[in-house]
Copies of this chain bind each other. A is one copy, B any other.
Amino acid sequence: MEPSKSYDFSVRKLGKATILSPVMMSKQIGDKFANYVNESESILYQIDAKLATGETYASPRENTVELAGPREKIYFNPPHVHAAIVTCGGLCPGLNNVIRAVVRCFWYRYNVRRISGIQYGYRGLLADSPYEPIILDPDLVDDIQMKGGTILGSSRGGGDKVSEIVDSLERMNVNVLVAVGGDGTLRGADEIGQEALKRGLKISVIGIPKTIDNDLSFIQSSFGFDTAVSTAVQSVRGAHVEAHDSINGIGLVKVMGRESGFIAAHTALAMSDVNFCLIPENPFDLEGDNGLLNHLRKRILDRHHAVILTAEGAGQSFLTQSSGKDASGNKKLQDFGVYLKERIAEYFKNENIEVNIKYIDPSYIIRSSPANSNDSIYCSRLGAHAVHAAMSGRTRTLISLLHNRFVHIPIEIAVADRNYVDIEGSLWRDVLENTRQPVSMQNM
């Protein structure tokens, strides 16, 4: 193994934390009070090591990530805090849980009494926004976690109008902004934080990473992902039943995953109903001896039913490329699921083989689900850690879970990279073990 790439994990702070935290904890071990996190506590990012020596592949100094959590000294004086929270981009299970945790932690732990919910993402912070912020308190957010979606509403876009947004924050006297969203949102948050600093405003901007695709770097797993997989599993089960019980039935399911196939890979692992799992990271041919269609034909002739699970971003090379982007700045994808369904139908028609294709696209059912208990726990802790980070004066900082520990990551390094399924790694290896599909479906 080569020396790993090194990262500068040092986190930005608004200034010196001098105020005693109102959170009732201690620095004493053994007094039964929870312990404050020491400013120097950290964990290693890169943990692969040589067995014999325990040396990692990273430069030790650039391999430490700051632990998140409540500090004994905080930066903001609670009575002066006006906190805002905004949720951006597509829906994802757990948004309401995050909102709820943020509000409760501000309110109950820090006695912050001014908490605004920005409506419809960054668009609620634009100059001409017709959407007034919602005044949040524990009563209002009680039980919202039972519902999917976000009580604040969400939208794509707006994050590029940094100056306008900082104007709004300034006008509202907001000094903490918790932004929940994907890489576009987080990039926006980082720029908002930068612009605020440039203006000399003491605004802590804390990001909570939201990506149902689980494709953000430096985050072991994003919230909502587990719920997404468990919901996707239902659709795959349905596709399997439909395929199995028809003559030469083919079940085709499309799940989220624009550039990374994590949902598809995990769903394929959760049940063994999937025979072909298609992800963006693993290119494949349709035609030819080693192409998907021929492998599918063999499976159908042999077993008379098949299930294909595709990530939405797989097979994009077969589609006419549009150059457009959506409001979040994501490349507009053509619908590979529908395309594949038609190609399969055409192929078997030419082969003169009767098949029955059933196509399931559970996308919005997944996105709008309430969080399962695992994600609920995760979100409740993410939200609390965001509040602790903000109160301690961090800014342009992301709350992340790494090696099952909550940590602070500078937003700018998190958005510089993307997380992919390593097709030579253990996850994809175990997927192949489960689906028993060919290692490669590309012709030589």
- Name A's B-contacting residues (CB within 8 A): 1, 24-25, 29-35, 37, 39-44, 47-56, 59-64, 66, 69-70, 91, 104-105, 108-109, 120, 123, 142-143, 145-155, 220, 226, 229-230, 233-235, 237-242, 244-247, 251, 266-267, 269-272, 282, 356, 358-362, 364-365, 367-369, 372-374, 376-377, 380-381, 384, 403-406, 423-426, 428-430, 432-434, 436, 439-440
Contacts of A146 in B (CB 8 A): 146-147
Of B54, B120, B143, B404, the contact of A220 (CB 8 Å cutoff): B404
Contacts of A233 in B (CB 8 A): 373, 376
Of B59, B245, B377, the contact of A270 (CB 8 Å cutoff): B377
How distant is the Cα of A429 from the Cα of B428 in the complex, in angstroms? 36
Contact A25 B429 (CB under 8 A): yes
Counting chain B CB atoms within 10 Å of each CB, which of A44, A52, A69 scores highest? Answer: A44
Contact B34 A429 (CB under 8 A): yes
Contact A47 B47 (CB under 8 A): yes
Q: How many copies does the complex hold?
A: 4
How distant is the Cα of A404 from the Cα of B219 in the complex, in angstroms? 12
Of B32, B246, B282, B432, the contact of A440 (CB 8 Å cutoff): B32
Contact A51 B40 (CB under 8 A): yes
Contact B154 A246 (CB under 8 A): yes
Of B123, B145, B151, B235, the contact of A365 (CB 8 Å cutoff): B235
How distant is the Cα of A35 from the Cα of B424 in the complex, in angstroms? 5
Closest Cβ neighbor of A152 among chain B residues: B245
Contact B32 A51 (CB under 8 A): no
Contacts of A60 in B (CB 8 A): 49, 53-55
Contact A149 B369 (CB under 8 A): no
How far is the CB of A183 from the nearest CB of chain B, in Å? 20
How distant is the Cα of A405 from the Cα of B233 in the complex, in angstroms? 23
How distant is the Cα of A428 from the Cα of B238 in the complex, in angstroms? 31
How far is the CB of A196 from the nearest CB of chain B, in Å? 26
Contact B48 A43 (CB under 8 A): yes
Answer whether A230 and B53 are a contact pair too, CB < 8 Å, given A47-B44, A423-B32. Answer: no
Contact A364 B238 (CB under 8 A): yes
Contact B368 A238 (CB under 8 A): yes
Contact A242 B360 (CB under 8 A): no
Contacts of A246 in B (CB 8 A): 120, 153-155
Contacts of A104 in B (CB 8 A): 272, 433-434
Contact A247 B440 (CB under 8 A): no
How distant is the Cα of A433 from the Cα of B63 in the complex, in angstroms? 31
How far is the CB of A351 from the nearest CB of chain B, in Å? 17
How distant is the Cα of A403 from the Cα of B407 in the complex, in angstroms? 14
How distant is the Cα of A109 from the Cα of B104 in the complex, in angstroms? 39
Contact B365 A271 (CB under 8 A): no
Closest Cβ neighbor of A228 among chain B residues: B373
Contacts of A380 in B (CB 8 A): 269-270, 272, 430, 434
Contact A377 B269 (CB under 8 A): yes
Contacts of A404 in B (CB 8 A): 220, 403-404
Contact B51 A44 (CB under 8 A): no
Contacts of A108 in B (CB 8 A): 433, 436
Contact B247 A120 (CB under 8 A): yes
Contacts of A29 in B (CB 8 A): 424
